[in-house]
Amino acid sequence: MLSLPYHAGRAPGYGPFLVKRVFRIWVPYVCAVLVGLLAMSWLARPALPGLSDWANGAWRVPLTPGLLLGHLSLVGSFPNGSVDPVIWSLVHEMRISLVFPLLMIAVLKFDWRVNLGAAAGLACVGAVATAVLARASVGVDYFATLEYVPMFVAGALLAARRERIRDWWSGLPRGIRIAWLPAGVTMYTIKWWAFHGNVGFPSDWVVAAGATMLIVAAFAAPRARAALRTRPLLFLGRVSYSLYLLHALVLLALLNLLYGRVPLALILVAAPLLSIGAAALGYRLVESPAMARGRRVASGLPTRLGPARVRQEAVPAPAERASSRDDQQVRLPA
């Protein structure tokens, strides 16, 4: 979605882009971290015997000014699994977001093979540098961000070629189309159910390939597109960022509060339901208002198009508006 304006020739200026990203990502994130810090200070137990390292690794560090400042920065190198264990990926996403317009310059200028090759090279450099620093006991993860650049480049390339991919999909043999979704799910999840996450950097490329297959199915397979338009899935898509931010906090709160007092199975059933409820609340109270505020602030910043051109394009002629609506209806699943 980030790359669509660039492909359509409506690239925003860097200022508006950055403002929207900060309000979209950072504001809900900070609110989630504050909730996590409060829950950690009130509910954390010394240990949860019999549970995994994941459950016992979070909420077990002292609350220090450095920890607070690290979390507030989001893009710095800090113990990002100590409060909300899932935000490690958000750290890399925000760092890449800061330079995403530069990535799009390369995506638009060079052949897709050049882009993927360069992104893969950066990922290898990041993996090697991260391994060297780890052996030297240097606790920074900046180079690890390079390992995720190919995911952003692949997403931008998919967005640019979505119409051609749909045509390609319709020409595939029926057996391949039937096996596509199971194969994508398998590749996306095999790192965890087959290897319990205990595999190195190249496995992320298998996960990324599986995610790519799922994205292709989402906008190219008619049945997948229809399923994704159902109200429950549209709702989950709308609150997905809040769900991402809050689900681990809900699970940790329940484990620290109830583990050993109620059956673990009951906790594991309650956690997803309460997480969805918390996500809906977070979306309504924080995420949606933050996005709206970001759009308002960004609209007051200069763009590359210039005020006159923006006003002219903002109010198309009636025939153009009808055409735009028709095009939007056709392209909505992408």
Q: Is residue 12 part of a domain?
A: yes
235-257: per-residue pLDDT in tens? 999 999 999 999 999 999 999 99
195-209: per-residue pLDDT in tens? 776 666 678 889 999
Q: Is residue 174 part of a domain?
A: no
Q: Is residue 166 part of a domain?
A: no
pLDDT greater than 60 at residue 279: yes
Q: Is residue 41 part of a domain?
A: yes
Tokens of 306: 């210039």
Q: Is residue 187 part of a domain?
A: no
What confidence category does residue 300 fall into, taking pLDDT thresholds of 50, 70 and 90? Answer: confident
Q: Is residue 91 part of a domain?
A: yes
Number of domains in the chain: 1
**Residue 246 CB contacts under 8 Å (≥ 6 apart), including other chains:** 32, 35, 275, 278, 279, 282
- Taking residues 66-91, report their average pLDDT: 93
In whole angstroms, what is the distance from residue 275 CA to residue 265 CA? Answer: 16
Q: Is residue 200 part of a domain?
A: no
3-state DSSP percent of the chain in helix, strand and coil, to 5: 75, 0, 25
Q: Is residue 225 part of a domain?
A: no
- Over the chain, what is the mean pLDDT? 88
- The Cβ of residue 256 has, within 10 Å, a number of other Cβ atoms equal to 18
More confident residue, 78 or 315: 78
In whole angstroms, what is the distance from residue 297 CA to residue 328 CA? Answer: 26
More confident residue, 8 or 257: 257
CA distances for 244 relative to 21, 142, 237, 240, angstroms: 17, 22, 11, 6
| Residue 282 near residue 242 (C-beta atoms within 8 A) | yes
Closest CA to 51 of 250, 197, 258: 258
Rounded to two decimals, the pTM is 0.85
Q: Which domain holds residue 326?
A: 4-161+239-331
